[in-house]
Amino acid sequence: DAKTTQPNSMESNEEEPVHLPCNHSTISGTDYIHWYRQLPSQGPEYVIHGLTSNVNNRMASLAIAEDRKSSTLILHRATLRDAAVYYCILRAALVFGAGTILRVKS
């Protein structure tokens, strides 16, 4: 199964942009890159997904490397409510890695 690698944790100041990286060097040509986030004691929440092109929605932007071996989730202005564990998964694999714990400082 194709797997993803993310940093264990990251910290950001409120109102500043956050770039959360994800490596997926064994991604296949048809795997979409999905991002979810999870607050304590809640189910994961969908954030964004994409295949090759950069994607934008109300919550975030997703920048995908040209070779698709890595991607970056961008939160344009972090708020305290964005503090969560962020997971990057390849939909075909349905395998959740450890994710990145994002801490946001006020």
User: Hey, how many other C-beta atoms are within 10 angstroms of the C-beta on 85?
Assistant: 18
Stretch that binds other proteins, among 17-25, 29-37, 64-72, 75-83 (CB under 8 A): 29-37
Closer residue to other proteins (CB): 13 or 52: 52
Contact track, other proteins, 72-101, x by CB under 8 A: ---------------x--xxx-xxxxxx--
Q: Which of 19, 26, 46, 56 binds other proteins (CB under 8 A)?
A: 46
Residue 33 to residue 50: CA distance in whole angstroms = 5
Q: Give yes or no for residue 42 binding other proteins (CB under 8 A).
A: yes
Q: Cβ distance 36 to 46 under 8 Å?
A: yes
Chain-centre distance of CA 28, in angstroms?
18
Q: Give yes or no for residue 57 binding other proteins (CB under 8 A).
A: no
Residue 20 to residue 7: CA distance in whole angstroms = 8
- Torsion over CA: 90, 27, 21, 60 (sign): negative
Q: By the criterion CB under 8 A, which residues form the site for other proteins?
A: 30-32, 34, 36, 41-46, 49, 51, 87, 90-92, 94-99
